[in-house]
Amino acid sequence: MKQEICSLLQKVREQNPLVHNITNVVVTNFTANGLLALGASPVMAYAKEEAAEMASIAGSLVLNIGTLTAPAVEAMLLAGKSANEHGVPVILDPVGAGATTYRTETARMLAKEISIAAIRGNAAEIANIAGEEWEIKGVDAVESNKDTRDLAVLAAKRLNTVVSITGKEDVVTNGLETFVIANGHPLLTKVTGAGCLLTSVVGAFAAVEKNYLKAAAAALVTYGSAAQLAAKKTEAKGPGSFQIELLNQLHHVNDEDLLRISSFNYHRKE
């Protein structure tokens, strides 16, 4: 799988897929820069007059509910349905699901109305979209000793999609096959948009790999490894320097780094 991750990253850089994001106002610039650094081509297009058309020509569509408005929800539905019609994978980040009724209901409605290739969120967001209890504080999951591996499998089965739950340990599963990934760095929790950018990176990999479990796993491993390289260079300075260095490392991370740093295991349940 390590070699496959390397070749998927190479594919992203060669194909430079167009990733259409309908995302939140906090992370827009960081997301666009992160996708460019990785080797993808970002576009943000929110107007209901163009959302469906843009989605139809994209390599993937990323829907992120971080700063929801009624027009954004309308655009997400139009773009999502167009993406489905044109075979474009749709990735959902249910930012803050569980924090307010509007967020929870919108996330569930999008997952029902649109065929979703993969969802990525923290444990609380995934629990709330899947109909389970987990406390959330704004957009951040509250620590719990509940098992995220079981939760991810349950959510993948209920929502019938690939589910990634990120945190100290990342879990990605289609309900049958599961990767547990140990890459990443605590400094990521000090940069707003670190999760949102990761969801768009899943979009970049899904644009070049139709096995969305593999695509999501490769995205999580690549991103977590780049974060470790960035932290090594900037840990003494802090989150500001780390945020910029993460962009540099998304650009530079290579096969040798991935083969050396990546750390994950794979299970299959019959």
Strand partners, 64: 93
Residue 98: phi and psi, rounded to 5, are 105, -20
Closest by alpha carbon to 61, among 23, 20, 28, 109?
20
Q: How far is the CB of 140 from ligand TZP (least distance, A)?
A: 7
34, 42, 59, 66: which one binds ligand TZP (CB under 6 A) = 66
Point out which residues bind ligand ATP (CB under 6 A). Answer: 122, 139-141, 166-168, 170, 184-186, 188-189, 194-195, 198, 223-224
Distances (CA, A) of 134 to 20, 175, 190, 199, 231: 30, 20, 21, 21, 30
Distances (CA, A) of 1 to 6, 7, 140, 164: 9, 10, 31, 17
Q: How far is the CB of 66 from ligand ATP (least distance, A)?
A: 9
Place of tokens 């390289």: 229
**CB-facing half-sphere around the CA of 120: CA atoms within 13 A:** 29
Stretch that binds ligand TZP, among 72-80, 166-174, 187-195, 213-221 (CB under 6 A): 187-195
Which of ligand ATP, ligand TZP, Mg ion, none binds 185 (CB below 5-8 Å, type-dependent)? ligand ATP
Q: Does the footprint of ligand TZP cover residue 107 (CB under 6 A)?
A: no
- Residues in 111-150 at the binding interface with ligand TZP, rule: CB under 6 A: 139
Q: What share of the chain is helix, strand, coil (3-state, %, to 5)?
A: 55, 20, 30
Residue with smaller CB distance to ligand TZP, 18 or 68: 68
- Residues in 21-50 at the binding interface with ligand TZP, rule: CB under 6 A: 24, 26-27
* Furthest CA-CA distance within the chain: 49
Stretch that binds ligand TZP, among 1-9, 83-91, 99-107, 194-202 (CB under 6 A): 194-202
CB 179 within 8 A of CB 37: no
Residue with smaller CB distance to ligand TZP, 11 or 120: 120
DSSP 81-139: HHHHHTT--EEEE-TTBTTBHHHHHHHHHHHHHS--SEEEEEHHHHHHHTT----EETT
Which of Mg ion, ligand ATP, ligand TZP, none binds 212 (CB below 5-8 Å, type-dependent)? none
DSSP-based three-state secondary structure for 221: helix
Q: How far is the CB of 222 from ligand ATP (least distance, A)?
A: 10
Residue with smaller CB distance to ligand ATP, 17 or 195: 195
Q: How far is the CB of 232 from ligand TZP (least distance, A)?
A: 22
Residue with smaller CB distance to ligand ATP, 48 or 251: 251
Residue 64: phi and psi, rounded to 5, are -130, 120
CB 48 within 8 A of CB 81: no
Q: Does the footprint of ligand TZP cover residue 95 (CB under 6 A)?
A: yes
Q: Does the footprint of ligand TZP cover residue 18 (CB under 6 A)?
A: no
Which of ligand TZP, ligand ATP, Mg ion, none binds 27 (CB below 5-8 Å, type-dependent)? ligand TZP
Enumerate binding residues for ligand TZP (CB under 6 A): 24, 26-27, 66-67, 95, 139, 192-196
